Every structure is written in C-alpha cells, then in structure tokens.
Chains A and B, each alone.
Chain A
C-alpha cells in the first residue's frame, strides 16, 4: 500500500490522540501500584550512633540545617569533640558553631579524643512532653517527639525540662523547635538528612518494630549506651562505644 504524506499525518494524528488519551487514563487510574500507606503503629523509630565511625566532618549538621531550614545559631543536631586528659575530672569539649563546618585541626596531644554527634533522643518517657502545658509537644505513635507549632505557646518549659539541650525557641515562629527525625522523610520511606549525608555511616536511622532492621543484630553484638541514663527518659538514640566522660 502506498502512503502519501497526507495519510502519514492522518494516521499519526490518530495515534497521537489515542496515545495521549491512554496516558491521561493511565494518570487517572494510576499506572504503578500505590505505595503502601504509612502506618504509624508499625514503626518505632530511633537511631544508632557509632562513635568510632564519626570523623567530625559536620556533614550531618549541614544536611540537617539545609533540610529543615534551621535558623542560624540554633541546632537540631550538632557534633561535640571530646578530649579526655588522663587524671582530670572534666573532659575538654568543643563544638564550634555546632560543628556545622566541622572542626579545626587539633593540636597534637596524647589525650583520648573522639567525636559525639548529638540530637534529640526521642525519649519514650520524655520529660519535655510531660511538662508542656497544652500538649503541643508529644510523642507520636511511631515514637518521634514532635512539636505542633500551631499550638505551642512559646513558654519554653520543655526547653528547661530537656536534659540534653536539644530544644530552642525558633526566632521567627516564636515556638519551640527541635529535631523531628526528618519525619517528613521517614514517613515516605526515606532516611533522615543527617544519616543520608553521613560519609561513614556513623548515624543509622533504625526502626525497632521492623524485625528485619539490622538494629536488632547490632544491639545483640555491640555494647551500647544512651546519654545520661540516670535521667530514665527511655532515650532511643543508642551510642556504640560511648565513653563515660560524655555528658
């Protein structure tokens, strides 16, 4: 059959209309199976921090700051550098601007030295949520301590009640702000910004309710601790190889 240019346009046009109709239908009906809806009751989030792996680069602080538009001078996460001189009561601790730009090269000493990343411990028995006069800060059913900024009075009782210094008053919203464990990401199946950007995988988001999560194997095979265990807050950020000098 001979096909001239007119036929080509006619058939091509029909095909184009058909294809676009199909594509529209596909968009309406959904071509891919819907991602499994996030069920809060199926998760119990926390984090593992491996002290020996942290190199103090500050990538986590920068990533958090960018991801969550953390105001200058305030920190949802930060990194501390510990130097523990033998025989001294107190360690020497530094965290220049929360280590957002990492750390300057240290002077050579023979002190024991290491980095400690810090963030909200998302305590199951959190003193900060206990004291909030209106319940604006709460533990979500999946174990994340959050603040409802539409409801927070800005009284800052929770800031006083947090033993770890993880909360601050946002200077623009005048409500309390803190680490959300990147809730907007983890509920979509992603990891936190800090974990994603850690070059040594010193920070690992974990889901204690997921039986396949490597956290269970990790906790079985490592000696871990939480910060300030005497506070009995049921902190869910576990530190591997945490030195007794860490506050």
Chain B
C-alpha cells in the first residue's frame, strides 16, 4: 500500500517529521546572534576602528534576535509548561539540557551587560533630559547608577572590554553548541559529523555579519544619512574571509562524504539530487554561496564605484541570508527526509496556520525586527555616526 509522500520504505514511525520549520528557525536565529556579536567584538577587542559605526547596531541586532531565539523551541515542545525543568533537573548527558544555561549566560552576562555598560552614559543623560514615561523608563534603565564621571566611564570601558573578551568564546559556544546538538546524533548520518559545530559557527558568523551589513545600509538609507564606505568595505572584507572558511569547511564535508561513501551515501546522494535539489544545490550552494562569494571576491579584486559596491553588498548580504536559511533548512528538514533504513524517503508537510506552521514561523521571524525597532528608538545606535557626520 502506498503512503502519500513516501517513496521506498520508511520505518512506520518515521513517516511524519518530528522537527519542523520552527527548529529550522532556532539555529538560524542563534546564528544571527552569534555572528552579529562577533562583528561587534571586531571593533571592541580587535580594534578594527573602521567598523565602529556598526558596533552598537550589531549589539542591538544580537539582542533583538536573542530575545526571540527560545520562542520557536517553546512553541515546538509538546509540553512547553515543563520546559523550566531543564533548569531544575537538567540531564547532564544531554546536549540539549545545556541550552537554558548557555542561553541565560549569553543573554545576561554577555549581551545585556555589555549593552548596558556601553549605553550607560547615554541612559543617564536621557533620564535627565526627557520627561514623563520616557524619563521613568530611562530612570529604571540606569539601575540607580548615575555616576558618569571620567573615572566611572573608564571603569565601564574596562569592564565592557573584559565582557567582550568573555563574549567571544561565549558566542562561539552558543552556536558551536547548536551544531553539536545535531552533529552528535550518531543515528543520523546526515547530521553526525564532528565538523557540524564548526560549520555552524562559521555559517553563523557569515549570516550575522551579512545581517548587520544590510541593516546598517538600510538604516542609513531610512535616516537619509551617508553610508560610511570605509566601514562597509571593511565589513565586506571580513565577510569574504569568513565566508571562504565557511565554504571550505562545507566543501570539505561534502568531499569527505563523497570520497568515503559509507553505507548512507547512496541514500543521501539520491536525496540531494531529488528532494533537496532546489533547497540544497540551487539555493544553498548556488544562489546562497557561489554567487555571493564571487561577488564579494570581485569587490576584493576590483575597485568598483561606491554606488556599485553598495549594490553588490546589499545583494550579497540578502543572498547570504537566504542561503544560510536554506542551509539550516537542509540540515534540519533534510536530516529527516530519508529513512534510517536508507531504503526510502518521506516528505515534509508544512502546515499554514498550525502551531508549527508557516504563519507562526513568519511571525517569529518578523518579531526580532519589531524588537529591533523598539530598541533603536530606546537606545539610538547611530550617535557616533551622527557625531562623525556633524564633525
């Protein structure tokens, strides 16, 4: 008897996919967080002064996405009301049990603290110059600390620096860990590779840098401010280098699998050439990797006019964001389309308005932008650029 959407033989419990588009969003969103933070650290720790105009923007981008990161997971759980048990009785042998701790560490110790320290002087200033509810909000945000003397600012800066230094391995841990969740499942040959955390990490950096680049250019356009070309050229340069490493790692994985050709290879190869052709070969590798890499390489080799460079950077960033989303899709969904018997394939039937359907996924993807909008209103990130422009 034929089962709709199934070719060949699936174990009977495998026909239905367990991890949906919401689980695709989880690594995508955490990747954007980690990547944006690492871009911010370029200025703070590695003293790449050129990217300074995006420092605060990158931090706020990271925060906006990090606040949304656990929501797709919560929505996916059969019993979301029990998720707090992961904090109370974590199972120490489970990679997933560490999520709550890694998340809390990153949110509170790294991101919130760094943003607060960086904005503290501005917050104190706002709490004194604004009125009404806004004043109250800023007053609360000062956390009772309104000393903005030279000495106090120096302390802020030193502590902020230390936090960024701690933040870099934390960002690596946040996303490398997400890769480990997949890479450590020995039952699934599509996932099970020690390269997975590293590939996830570099793809996270690529997506986060691309997101900040496109957000910065869009924000400048909206605010009718000039785009700092030195800044975007430098970001594009780092994006290119990171992308080359990411592409190399992904190709290494592909070549290794093809050359080794273990028992799963025929099955996975068939899947890539059929059900995953569009999302893997066309979107992820073609449009999402080769085209943006060539475009970025061109900007490194030839000096285009600023207008052309801006266009290339915008197109490249958008293609990268689509390509990395396709990569997460291919990992999460692709890893469930084939049978662990290697004898058959199933299909992913995505609902539209169901709990794990397309509509909640779109809403969850839009939510960080809404948060980002509120954050930039509350904590304007372009003061430096404006000051520069005024100078």
Point out residues on A near B: beta carbons under 8 Å. 73-75, 78, 80, 89-98, 118, 127, 130-135, 151-157, 159-169, 173-175, 231, 247
Contacts and interface: CB of A to CB of B under 8 A. Distances in A.
Given A155-B96, A169-B78, A75 B13 contact: yes
A154 B91 CA distance: 15
Contacts of A160: 18-19, 185, 187-188, 335-336
B185 A131 contact: yes
A165 B94 contact: no
A159 B18 contact: yes
Contacts of B19: 156, 160
Query: Interface on chain B toward A: helix, strand, loop, or mixed SS?
Result: loop
A161 B12 contact: no
Given A154-B77, A157-B96, A93 B341 contact: yes
A121 to B, nearest CB: 12
Interface in B151-196: 181, 185-188
B331 to A, nearest CB: 12
Given A154-B77, A231-B186, A78 B12 contact: yes
Interface in B80-107: 80, 82-83, 85-86, 89-91, 93-97, 99
Contacts, number: 126
Nearest to A159: B18
Contacts of A152: 78-79, 82
A7 to B, nearest CB: 71
A132 B93 CA distance: 8
B247 interface: no
Given A166-B13, A168-B13, A247-B342, A157 B94 contact: yes
Given A134-B94, A154-B78, A155-B77, 17 more contacts: A89-B266, A93-B341, A96-B1, A97-B1, A132-B91, A133-B94, A133-B97, A133-B99, A134-B82, A134-B91, A154-B79, A155-B96, A161-B187, A166-B13, A168-B13, A175-B79, A247-B343
Q: Give the interface residue-count category, chain B.
A: 35 or more
Given A89-B266, A134-B86, A165-B14, A153 B79 contact: yes
B341 A247 contact: yes
A80 B11 CA distance: 9
Contacts of A130: 93-94
A125 B141 CA distance: 50
A161 B185 contact: yes
B119 interface: no
A15 to B, nearest CB: 60
B18 A93 contact: no
A133 B86 contact: yes
Nearest to A104: B1
A213 B83 CA distance: 43
Interface of B: 1, 9-14, 16, 18-19, 73, 76-80, 82-83, 85-86, 89-91, 93-97, 99, 181, 185-188, 266, 335-336, 339-343
B129 to A, nearest CB: 47
Residue with the greatest number of chain A CB neighbours at <10 A, chosen from B12, B14, B185:
B12
Contacts of B9: 80, 92-95
A92 B79 CA distance: 39
Contact of A74 (B13, B18, B82, B91): B13
B340 A153 contact: no
Contacts of B340: 163-165, 247
3 closest Cβ pairs, A-B complex: A154-B78, A165-B11, A174-B78
Nearest to A80: B9
B89 A135 contact: yes
B94 A132 contact: yes
Contacts of B266: 89
A164 B86 contact: no
Contacts of A157: 94, 96, 181
A214 B19 CA distance: 42
Contacts of A247: 340-343
Contact of B82 (A75, A92, A153, A161): A153
A163 B18 contact: no
A133 B103 CA distance: 15
B78 A167 contact: no
Nearest to A96: B1
A19 B73 CA distance: 66
21 contacts: A75-B12, A80-B9, A89-B266, A92-B9, A95-B9, A133-B97, A134-B89, A134-B97, A135-B89, A151-B82, A154-B77, A156-B18, A156-B19, A160-B18, A160-B19, A160-B185, A161-B185, A161-B186, A165-B10, A165-B14, A247-B340
Contacts of A166: 11, 13
Nearest to B9: A93
Contact of B11 (A118, A151, A169): A118
Residue with the greatest number of chain A CB neighbours at <10 A, chosen from B9, B73, B335:
B9
B108 to A, nearest CB: 20
